[in-house]
Amino acid sequence: MENYDAYFMAGGALQILGKLILVLASGILFTKQRNLGTTLMLLGSLLSIVFSLGTLLLTTFSAQAGPESVIKANALGSLLTPLPYILFAIGLFWFSLKQVKKHPKNH
């Protein structure tokens, strides 16, 4: 049987890399244009890292209490983890609406 640990580690590393790039890009955008949209994008990208780490720690510590606790921790994590992405998406939507108003089409 093939050892899949390397795949899981590589996948985790790619997730971390993507989240860090997203935080960096959101931070740059926030410093250049401070408005509600960029604030929500930065907050969402930062919270995605916090929630991911929180879910990982919660799952790790719940393993000491038994398998049912791990299932509850994973269920809570699956409920909370999308919230920062929704926040980011709302910020991106808000930002794009403001950008379209600033730059009308030239005919």
Is the pLDDT at 8 greater than 70? The verdict is: yes
| Cβ-Cβ contacts under 8 Å for 41 (sequence gap 6 or more) | 26, 29, 30, 88, 91, 92, 95
Q: How many domains does the chain fold into?
A: 1
Tell me, what CATH number does 77's domain have? Answer: 1.10.287
Give the residue with greater pLDDT, 101 vs 103. Answer: 101
Any domain includes 97: yes
Is the pLDDT at 46 greater than 70? The verdict is: yes
Give the residue with greater pLDDT, 34 vs 7. Answer: 34
Any domain includes 56: yes
Is the pLDDT at 105 greater than 90? The verdict is: no
Any domain includes 107: no
User: Which residues form the domain of 14?
Assistant: 5-102
Average pLDDT, rounded, for the chain? 90
Question: DSSP assignment of 14-65, as one string?
Answer: HHHHHHHHHHHHHHHHHHHS-SHHHHHHHHHHHHHHHHHHHHHHHHHHHGGG
